[in-house]
Structure 1
């Protein structure tokens, strides 16, 4: 097996940072939508708003899971670098593998969230096409 060096986990820093920025933007967009839906619901108790709120709640929780997995991956990359620094390479390899698995999990949550988002938008498109 190849020797794990400090540069290997460091390569993920920029990728994870960009992913986390995208996740944060999604989270902020959901917060704005939720506030908007809340105001609309207080004005008019519409059943369609309840469905939208349930959908956005599910997507919000997936985004939270994406963020937690991504941040944990970054944290484990830093731990990997520390373990390499103190010459604990065998443990570092396992921790780095776990970091990669968490990154994969984060991206899998993203795929699920995107599928849910598309379905929600399809409902809006259907309403437009049928009016």
Structure 2
């Protein structure tokens, strides 16, 4: 017996694509659990970025106090923005893993629809975290270019 998915939905359900997705998608409790190893590696990378930025801020602080360099000022502004991105990456990742854990609990207690929906939200938060990571990476590249331009200006 096959079901025609559009016939299962009422016209009100057409406004909720997540509902249609939850009917078409059947996940088990192990599906969200698959994300835990990936998320732990992701947080390790995020923590390393944060520690590297903290070290760089201390260096720039000392340089700025000694020289009052405009390049150091540009770097400080860049570092401030990078910290915001790293915090956003971590917060979005934490919310993603909380939703993932909640999805496992909901599926365990037989609330498949809510579990699917929550798992979908966890994926959205993790993707947003990764997008913030890309933004921070691009900003990091700009900061390196500032340093390279300063080195070129002093070598000429």
Which of the five TM-score ranges fits, normalised by the shorter chain?
over 0.9
Q: Which runs of 5+ in 2 are unaligned?
A: 1-23
Q: Work out whether 1:122 is the aligned partner of 2:141.
A: no
Q: Work out whether 1:30 is the aligned partner of 2:53.
A: yes
- 66, 69, 86: which is aligned to 1:43? 66
Aligned equivalent of 2:80: 57
Greater relative contact order (CA < 8 Å, ≥ 6 in sequence): 1
CA RMSD of aligned residues (A): 1.2
Number of corresponding residues: 131
Could you tell me how far apart the structure 2 residues matched to 1:119 and 1:41 are? 19
TM-score, normalised to structure 1, is 0.94
Alignment of 1:6-25 (within 5 A): 6-25=29-48
Q: Which runs of 5+ in 1 are unaligned?
A: none
Secondary structure in 1 matching 2:110: coil
Q: More displaced, 32-41 or 95-104?
A: 32-41
Instruction: Confirm or deny: 8 A CA contact 2:93 2:126 kept in the other structure.
Output: yes
TM-score, normalised to structure 2, is 0.79
Aligned equivalent of 1:100: 123
Could you tell me how far apart the structure 2 residues matched to 1:11 and 1:74 are? 11
Instruction: Confirm or deny: 8 A CA contact 2:103 2:116 kept in the other structure.
Output: yes
- Offset of residue 53 of structure 1: 0.4
Could you tell me how far apart the structure 1 residues matched to 2:28 and 2:103 are? 9
Aligned equivalent of 2:100: 77
- Offset of residue 122 of structure 1: 1.7
